[in-house]
Structure 1
């Protein structure tokens, strides 16, 4: 498949879809009690704060003209009480919605991660890991403000608008109509900008993804970068990607900044019109208190409008990221349990490939109608040039990919018809890349069998001669291993991976270049451990170092996805074919 590189934009240009927002709401529904309480707090806070202009009107039209000091003091205390109530309710709303927002983010991030755990190797083969990582972190985090503030503010702002309009109509109907006449102007501005804003933030999302992909790649390969003195060239590449991101970011921000200035301009124009008409057209019929109170409500009318504009901006930005997040969650695993799949019983280890064909890309087959059988307890070694199909065979046996044609059978069970967990839990797989996780050496060896005791872990390490070097470390088995095991040599990482595989006690053992990075002296010791591990297990060994597979029961020499030669070590040497040529070249 064509790999999406760091400098290739991911295409996702869907129209703004209300279904995306409704899907987000499904994550909020389990927290509906908190949301309802927060809404109640916000509505109470909003209602308390909206009484202010009306109290000012009473003071200006009644208490002050009548010089009623007690009435004025009473109104002041009521005003102060409402302000305190508003502040307390607002604090509770912020606390509750922040908790709810983080809970929703946790659930979304969990769903994305769980989906990623199920996706096949083809998904990871087809895109930079940095573009996957950004969806779990940056994109999900970008939803925080929308969840913690936006949705509740939307409800309370709509409520505030309704209450404010009621107060305005109660004070003066004619002035209210003049103030509301500016709303179509604002709606026209928003309508003109909405599509541009959506496309702008989708472009920002693409460039941010590209930049993160290259950043992840650069950090992973920093040793190679410094070894080849590529710092300056890599810096130029990152500068270009960073500049592309900035070039898309600036237009998107400009569009955002057109929303609230438009609201501010329209609000000022509406207040100016109120003053002009109040002084000219309605002179004598509108009291000073009425005019001041009405203008106060007009200013308050445009505040939730501004908040709604900000919410719309947040919604458009979040929608661009939600599209990416839900696209990942909706990614369908290609390798999954068949509806009629059954658990694979404890196996003896008979493996058979029947007319198996497979290719990673359509039209480019790697295996061609491959046929072979391995008896329980046999050790099968596979050799051949790079790209001959050796690793592909063990990947299909482990069902990391689906075969295109034919069958892979274990004890007569089609691997396509058994559950993945029951299949892989009976396999011990040591791949060529000895990957170690952050944690202790003990944790890494126990990774495939969490119920193993410390004594069993140590016994597995001793069997593969990893115990000796572990004992020389300052904290021994409690030694912390950094990401990918960078504190250990390549050979030490392979020995730990070997111990991890041995501890799992698999029925089928797969070793892909298992001793490629171990020195000759250690290899002799490890071979003794391998010999004990192979007993009673069907094993598949991929090796370029032919001296390590002399004792294999059968050796397959593969070329272009076909088994060119098969036999024991001695039989293949006597045949003087391709295996003999490879062996002779290595001995020389």
Structure 2
């Protein structure tokens, strides 16, 4: 099993080199943006759809105008046709009203269709940028964040943004037009009744601000618990074999209930508080209706206003209070979206591991590697390596051995620049690797890990992952060199056989051979083998070792191994202990020293005899 350099078991990131913590803290701290800044950033994505937004604006204005014309015509129909009993004029008014309402429905549908297209394209770009950001973040970030929680940011949080964009943008614009339009027409119809209709507006604003301010906090808490639950579920599903092996089903169910209860409580609070908006607004709207109807009826009795004007103002007052209520409801939805967007932008604001790098090409390297007084620790006060120095000549096979947590994996983590040295320097062909472009450096590094990670897709696609421009013939040649072509030929679809998630349809040895074929195809100058044969049977180990010898031929190789029998042919063996190189030499030289390596080798030899 791969382990943390500090001796703790790795959390098991597929295909990762151990899983050390981010230095200094559990995770990089990035302060969440405030609401205004987050809304501006969402708008920066939305504004890219200018043509669609223009269409949405036109249809929203048209829809609002049609909605404003209806109540005015209704009042005119009462005063001009119903009270005078002019049925011919009444029919014409009915036809006009019917046409307006039908046209309004059609315009509303087109508006919704266009806005859906705009919002989905916007969310597509946001999700694309978030995924691209994930590819730029350093390995340490993923070592300290549950993959399920990161998935939640790319799915649930962005879905909240999508839902808000679908509904809120047009609703906000429509509400603003309806508010201003209704107020103007009401003032033109009758000023006293309009002032009465405005009495409840301060109450509506005050209630909505209090409720929505409280709901925002609850929605953000809800999203945080949802991310935790997704992270737990992802770990539980991927670790089912371990859970069943240790009979921990009930304890996992209990943990799920605990986390789920926290989410449930947070969700209930968020929904209850946000749910108060509707009833409170309806109560105030009904109060407003009663005031206008009562006072308007008295004014009509005194001859101060017509019945038609009262009916029109009642409808406009309803249209006036409805946008206020809808704005409050939309505010709740927007707060949920802002809470999700903040979590997304927190990740997008984290520094990329490629920041400040120049895209300079790197010629084919010879493979000389020098560690010169290297000091490094995942935590500032807990160094793992203390002044490590050694030189690997081009084409040499260097084996790294030592107890768990000694720093073997840390050495290759520094060579690949998954982490940067705290002191000293690492040189490749005489150049400090900190001056080299990471992508160019890693392009010439090949890795075969203990946890052989296979992607969903065909066998051919998994091998071609090592070099995407490789031809089918080159893929098959790499498979032959890796001793993997034999079992591929026995599969029903051969190289086109589809593999499930993590390649669970293959044995561990078969997955390991596929990763070796992938590395052969990549043709690296420097090769890293991390416990590549530790989890397979003896016969499979022989096939893997043969493939590894083919892969290592002519390349500088670093081999991390607990089975010392697998590295007897190494040009040099480095014994790592306590963060420094305690011994180094060939297999024979180290045995002759009768030191740490001699003790490790003999203990394994005795265990093999006892097992036999």
TM-score, length of structure 1 as denominator length: 0.96
CA positional deviation for 1:338: 3.9
Q: Secondary structure at the match of 1:51?
A: helix
Q: How does 1:452-467 map to 2 (within 5 A)?
A: 452-467=470-485
Distance 1:412 1:239, change over 3 A: same
Distance 1:439 1:257, change over 3 A: same
Q: CA separation in 2, counterparts of 1:265 and 1:506?
A: 72
- Counterpart of 2:317 in structure 1 is 298
Report if aligned partners of 2:401, 2:561 keep a CA contact under 8 Å in 1.
yes
Give the unaligned 5+ runs of structure 1: none
Structure ranking higher on relative contact order (CA contacts 8 Å, 6+ apart): 2
Q: CA separation in 1, counterparts of 2:58 and 2:264?
A: 41
Q: Secondary structure at the match of 1:286?
A: coil
Q: CA separation in 1, counterparts of 2:337 and 2:106?
A: 29
The answer on 1:288 being equivalent to 2:337 is no
CA positional deviation for 1:531: 2.6
CA positional deviation for 1:315: 1.1
Q: How does 1:373-522 map to 2 (within 5 A)?
A: 373-522=391-540
CA positional deviation for 1:270: 0.7
Q: CA separation in 2, counterparts of 1:557 and 1:546?
A: 11
- Partner of residue 579 from structure 1, selected from 589, 597, 605: 597
Distance 1:215 1:9, change over 3 A: farther
Alpha-carbon deviations, 1:370-419, whole Å to 9, x = none? Answer: 11111111111111111111111111101111111111110111111111
Q: CA separation in 2, counterparts of 1:380 and 1:11?
A: 38
Report if aligned partners of 2:499, 2:505 keep a CA contact under 8 Å in 1.
yes
Aligned structure 1 segments of 4 or more residues deviating by more than 6 angstroms: 1-4, 8-13
- Partner of residue 286 from structure 2, selected from 240, 251, 268: 268
- Counterpart of 1:24 in structure 2 is 42
Q: CA separation in 1, counterparts of 2:234 and 2:358?
A: 40
Alpha-carbon deviations, 1:268-308, whole Å to 9, x = none? Answer: 10110011111235632111111112111111212212211
Distance 1:368 1:229, change over 3 A: same
Alpha-carbon deviations, 1:500-532, whole Å to 9, x = none? Answer: 111111111111112223332333344333333
Equivalenced residues, count: 584
Q: CA separation in 2, counterparts of 1:17 and 1:518?
A: 54
CA positional deviation for 1:195: 3.0
CA positional deviation for 1:330: 0.6
CA positional deviation for 1:3: 8.2
Alpha-carbon deviations, 1:533-585, whole Å to 9, x = none? Answer: 22221111111111111111111111122111111111111111111111111
Alpha-carbon deviations, 1:197-250, whole Å to 9, x = none? Answer: 222112212211221111111111111111222111111110111111111111
Distance 1:87 1:67, change over 3 A: same
- Counterpart of 1:309 in structure 2 is 328
Q: Secondary structure at the match of 2:47?
A: helix
CA positional deviation for 1:139: 0.5
Report if aligned partners of 2:212, 2:331 keep a CA contact under 8 Å in 1.
no
- Alignment RMSD, CA only? 2.0
Q: Secondary structure at the match of 2:92?
A: helix
- Partner of residue 91 from structure 2, selected from 73, 86, 102: 73
Distance 1:404 1:255, change over 3 A: same
Alpha-carbon deviations, 1:471-508, whole Å to 9, x = none? Answer: 22222211111111111111111111111111111111
The answer on 1:546 being equivalent to 2:564 is yes
- Partner of residue 215 from structure 1, selected from 233, 236, 239: 233
Q: Secondary structure at the match of 2:427?
A: strand
